Structure 1
Amino acid sequence: MGWEEFSKNFLFEVGAGDRVKLWTDQWCGDSPLKLIFLSVYEIASNKEASVASSLDRLGIGERRSWGVRFIQRPNDWEMGGVEEFLCTLASNLPPNENGDRLRWKLTKNEDFDFSKTAGRIKEATANLPVVTEDDDRDEAAALQDETESTDEDGAMKQDVLVGVPAEEHLEESDPFGLDAMLSTVVKKGFMKGKKDATAKINVEVEENKRFIKSQREALITCLEIAARRYKTPWCQTVIDILVKHAFDNVARFTTRQRDAIEKLWASIREQQTRRKQGKSVNGKLDVNGFEWLQQKYSTKKISIRHSVGGSGDRRAQQWLG
């Protein structure tokens, strides 16, 4: 899943506008403005402009107004699109100058839920097929210099074809002369249909392989993004569970991806140990609430009635990990 696919799941609610791109972010309508008003976008002076830089203020305390600039005057046939563009902007003037906000389309309250997103990532990881030797070989081949190998293979094939006469090819393909006994039209139609069916199957297989490959790459990217948030205490438990799940399903990833997951899990384990010792990523004793309860009840006994301290020999460690 690339950024274009991922960005379809949210839209921007503009406040100050300094973190939202005027043309390329979806903040006004169902698509980015560059797709809705392509001809206007082509003559824009700054195609990477933010919403804030496209707003002017006439005086102190005055309300902001639009000030989009172009590299040339629109042609007569472009004026209709420009007028529609300006009307769209006028009806979507940011009502305040608070911070910009992301509205997540996949939840009812339009807020991004970190835990639910991690759950979706775990589900997608569990649905991946187990990596085969062919997948590892494809990955290794992609890392090599394909240009030289392609040139060498092409030269070798050409040498082989040059060394064998054309007549010999024909004789080998039909050594008993059976072609003469078959109808040319029927044979051509049968071969064409067979080739088309084979080609269609090959295309579907390759498309499926590309899709699964992009899925694996996207999941690795999600893990890397999550790892960068590890300094935030309330994220740590979710990230721990997410990375542990990826490590448990490491057979579903290619060799290089397995190495990355194993290194990430080793780093997570190290951080867990350091937090218990009072040495965390922030240099503070920031054992999170889950770990605090884990330590507190790890030596307590839980009765059959689930009351701490009652009779029974099951320890809370069984539930808290």
Structure 2
Amino acid sequence: MAGLSGSAPVVNNTVNNIKPVVEVSANNPFIARDLDFATDWLSMLVYGDFGVGKTYFAGTSVFVEDYRDILYVALEGGEKGLKQLVKQGKKQGVDVASHIMVIPVQTFKQYANIYEFLKLHVKFRDSNDIKNLRRLEAQIKGYPAEVCKDDAQLEKLIPTPKMIRTVITDSLTEAQKYCMYQLLGIDPLTQRIDQEPDQAQFAEWGRSREMIQFLVRRLRDLPVNSLFICGQDTDQDAAKNWYYTPLLPGKLAGDVRGLVDCVGYLTTIPLEGGQVTRRMFMVGGKYGNAHIAAKHRFGSNMTSSYIDNPSMQSIYDLDNA
């Protein structure tokens, strides 16, 4: 996250230098917002087994105009799953690479810096402050300080800065692990692989649970679409019933499901002739001997409990029907 620790552009909290009628203070500690603000942005958790296509599904946001540009937070090197989107984009006339920015993350502190970047970015985005958007993008791309201060040069290097509307976290399962590393004093960048780490105690698990909830809440409450990818946890009871939930420790799996608008379980379904289809369950419940954790906010627009061959266009259509 080069450049984020240095001086950052400061956004003016007034519009056209018009002072607010009432200053927000301890005596007026809230601001009302229109209903559209709460309904325009989507928060979604997508979970499933390894290799089922979760990253690809989230990445199809690039083909929905209202969902791009995209910030892809790569906690486990999953950006390789986005490469097939480039080929698809050529067929659809969409320059995928120009609409997705990837930030690799190896520590929980780096994730915190990304959040601070996003807070500034959405302010500049919503005020159409192109100059500061360029400066901010140059900072996180690691451009030299003298370049970041040269607006004429930045205009040539970044003629059209990103307008991020969707943030993909891949994966929340890995984010929780990095969070635990931080609590245990482990630096993944310097820790020797033969050095035995301390075992997490009850207190660390509790703090980790609160920190991940805090992370999800803060991203969810930004004016962006927030997509969280998770691995799949499975369990079986004595009656041979299977339970499928997001791969997060303890009660955190349930906590996070309650914090987002939608929870989709992505799996593959075998078809005749050896073919398979990807299916996303959006309604929680029992299917045969499988109990699936899922939910949606689409009301009567959702006429089935699942979507076959899902994409973010499918989600957008349901959300805007």
Larger radius of gyration: 1
TM-score, scaled to structure 1:
0.25
TM-score, scaled to structure 2:
0.25
**Structure showing the higher helix proportion among its residues:** 1
Higher RCO by CA contacts (8 Å cutoff, separation 6 or greater): 2
